[in-house]
């Protein structure tokens, strides 16, 4: 088991500035790119003009300003929140399960959300309303609840038992989702559109819906970074140092699950972000979770916004599902991780 060296517990100011700078650049590009032409300079001035005590002439027309603030800005903000949340949850899962292949969908979140969304769409729920995210969120929580209940049957919720229970629950819910799709075959196209991830119908209401979950769950996870560092030496060693491993696992899993469920409820199932980003960040800042967790959130936000830019522009004026872009990047990366781990743990 690899532990963090003292140097890995700090991040150089230049690296942190580069991460923030890259996030800012992709955010500006994200709100500037689209069918309605806008200059990057005009967009930047419009964004700065919303800051307190800043009064700038933006050069945008009324129509351009409406497109910027009512369509593109919430899409970029939501994409950043979703990407950051999935990356943060993925890093947390990898830490608490001490497994580099763990991701936010490990315990049945994705399968449960997919089932909930499929049932809602089959019942005629509109994709632009709040009922679809609610159904997906409820399904995600149901999936994780079923996983914990199944793992508890044997009187324990050890790591291996939880993972196996998650596989079983995910398989069952995927089968149930397929059954519902067969009963409502006319909605298959809409279901697959949701499953592949989308940010096409975003408004500020989805952002407002997600922010409380991200804020609370993110604060809990980042606050447990030190505990994950201790847990990385092994449960027995951590217990000898006074850490209640079972309690830490429960708190981290609950917080990461709530955050992930809220994210997929508003964006659909966007894969690989929770695996790709934490591993890339480890190469930059080291293995200490006190640093890894917040930096994973920032890099995940930038990664998702960049992926959304590609999804909007590669086959413009049509759009690719954002999950296709993340899969193209993530699948080869996952193969590299799998070839290097060979059963080892983080």
What length does the chain have?
Answer: 346
Spatial CA neighbour of 323 closest among 199, 213, 205, 217: 199
CA–CA separation, 220 and 256 (whole Å): 9
- What pLDDT score does 317 carry? 83
Spatial CA neighbour of 227 closest among 107, 95, 101: 95
- What pLDDT score does 111 carry? 93
| Token pair of 97 as six digits | 């399960």
Spatial CA neighbour of 40 closest among 55, 52, 24: 24
Domain chopping of the chain, boundaries: 6-341
CA–CA separation, 58 and 3 (whole Å): 50
> Taking the CB of residue 152, how many other CB atoms lie within 10 A of it?
13
CA angle 125, 263, 132 (to 5 degrees): 5
CA–CA separation, 13 and 175 (whole Å): 49
CA–CA separation, 257 and 221 (whole Å): 11
What's domain 6-341's superfamily in CATH?
A: ABC transporter involved in vitamin B12 uptake, BtuC (1.10.3470.10)
- What pLDDT score does 43 carry? 86
Q: Is the link from the previous residue into 317 a cis peptide, with omega within 30 of 0?
A: yes
Residue located via tokens 């230049």: 14
Decide if 196 contacts 321 (C-beta within 8 A).
yes
- Output the pTM of the full model: 0.88
| Token pair of 72 as six digits | 């593109």
H or E segment and range at residue 6: none
Residue 274 burial class via C-beta count within 10 angstroms: exposed 0-12, middle 13-18, buried 19 and up: buried
| Token pair of 58 as six digits | 């933006």
- What pLDDT score does 273 carry? 93
Decide if 182 contacts 159 (C-beta within 8 A).
no
Residue 220 burial class via C-beta count within 10 angstroms: exposed 0-12, middle 13-18, buried 19 and up: middle
CA–CA separation, 31 and 43 (whole Å): 7
| Tens digits of pLDDT across the chain (346 residues) | 444 443 445 778 888 999 999 999 999 999 988 888 788 888 888 888 888 777 777 778 888 888 899 989 999 999 999 999 999 999 999 999 888 788 889 899 999 999 999 999 888 887 666 788 899 999 999 999 999 888 887 665 577 788 889 999 999 999 999 999 888 888 888 888 888 887 877 788 889 989 999 999 999 999 999 999 988 887 777 777 778 888 888 899 999 999 999 999 999 899 899 999 999 999 889 889 999 999 999 999 999 999 999 999 998 888 888 999 999 988 888 787 777 765 444 4
CA–CA separation, 291 and 225 (whole Å): 8
- Report the half-sphere exposure of 245 (CA within 13 A, side-chain side): 20
């Amino acid at each position: 088991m690899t532990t963090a060296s003292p140097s890995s517990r700090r991040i150089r100011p230049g690296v942190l500035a580069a991460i923030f700078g890259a996030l800012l650049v992709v955010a500006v590009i994200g709100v500037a790119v689209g069918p309605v032409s806008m200059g990057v300079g005009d967009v930047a001035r419009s964004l700065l003009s919303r800051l307190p005590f800043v009064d700038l002439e933006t050069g945008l027309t009324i129509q351009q300003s409406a497109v910027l603030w009512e369509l593109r800005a919430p899409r970029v903000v939501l994409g950043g929140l979703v990407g950051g949340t999935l990356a943060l949850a993925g890093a947390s899962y990898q830490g608490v399960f001490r497994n580099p292949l763990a991701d936010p969908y490990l315990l049945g979140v994705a399968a449960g959300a997919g089932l909930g969304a499929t049932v809602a769409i089959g019942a005629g729920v509109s994709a632009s309303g709040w009922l679809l995210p609610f159904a997906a969120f409820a399904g995600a929580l149901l999936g994780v609840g079923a996983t914990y209940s199944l793992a508890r049957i044997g009187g324990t919720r050890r790591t291996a038992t939880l993972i196996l229970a998650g596989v079983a629950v995910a398989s069952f819910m995927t089968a149930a989702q397929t059954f519902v799709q067969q009963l409502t075959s006319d909605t298959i196209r809409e279901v697959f559109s949701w499953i592949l991830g989308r940010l096409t119908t975003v408004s500020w209401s989805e952002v407002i819906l997600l922010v409380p979950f991200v804020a609370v769950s993110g604060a809990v996870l980042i606050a447990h970074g030190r505990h994950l560092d201790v847990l990385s030496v092994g449960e027995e060693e951590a217990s000898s140092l006074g850490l209640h491993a079972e309690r830490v696992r429960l708190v981290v899993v609950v917080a990461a699950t709530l955050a992930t469920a809220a994210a997929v409820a508003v964006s659909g199932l966007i894969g690989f972000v929770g695996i790709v980003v934490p591993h890339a960040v480890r190469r930059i800042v080291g293995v200490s979770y006190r640093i890894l967790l917040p930096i994973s959130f920032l890099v995940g936000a930038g990664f998702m916004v960049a992926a959304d830019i590609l999804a909007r522009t590669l086959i413009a004026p049509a759009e690719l599902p954002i999950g296709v872009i993340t899969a193209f990047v993530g699948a080869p990366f996952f193969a590299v991780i799998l070839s290097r781990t060979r059963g080892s743990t983080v």
